[in-house]
Amino acid sequence: MVCARAFRCTSLLKQCIQREGVTMSGKGVNTRMGRPVKGTSDKKRREKVQRSRLVKLGVPEAKVNTMNAAEVRTMLKRPAKLVKK
């Protein structure tokens, strides 16, 4: 059998395998798949955990609730500065 790594193009691979008499189901040919999309529920869960982390570090909950997600992330980048305040 011919090594699949020798061929970069799947059409050449198909032709070579068909010449050898091996049937292909189609599943093994197209292995390119995109990255999975991040879900909104995962994003909400991450934001909730980050907000609770800020509250545990000593930031007032009223202030955390008014901040957007980007501000929460920037504050969590350097938690040692939050503890000193």
Whether 49 is in a domain gets the answer yes
Task: Give the rounded percent of residues in the chain with a pLDDT score beyond 90.
Answer: 46
Please say if the pLDDT value at position 44 is more than 50.
yes
56 or 4, which is more confident: 56
Q: How many domains does the chain have?
A: 1
Cα–Cα distance measured from residue 9 to residue 16, given in angstroms and rounded to the nearest whole number? 11
Residue 20 within any structural domain of the chain: no
pTM of the full structure: 0.56
Residue 59 is assigned to a structural domain of this protein: yes
Mean pLDDT of all residues in 60-66: 95
Range of the domain at 72: 40-84
Residue 3 lies in a domain: no
Predicted pLDDT at 20: 62
The stretches of the chain forming alpha helices (DSSP H) are: 10-20, 40-57, 61-66, 69-77, 79-84
* pLDDT number for residue 84: 64
Q: Is the pLDDT of residue 56 over 80?
A: yes
pLDDT of 74 higher than 50: yes
Q: What is the pLDDT of residue 83?
A: 75
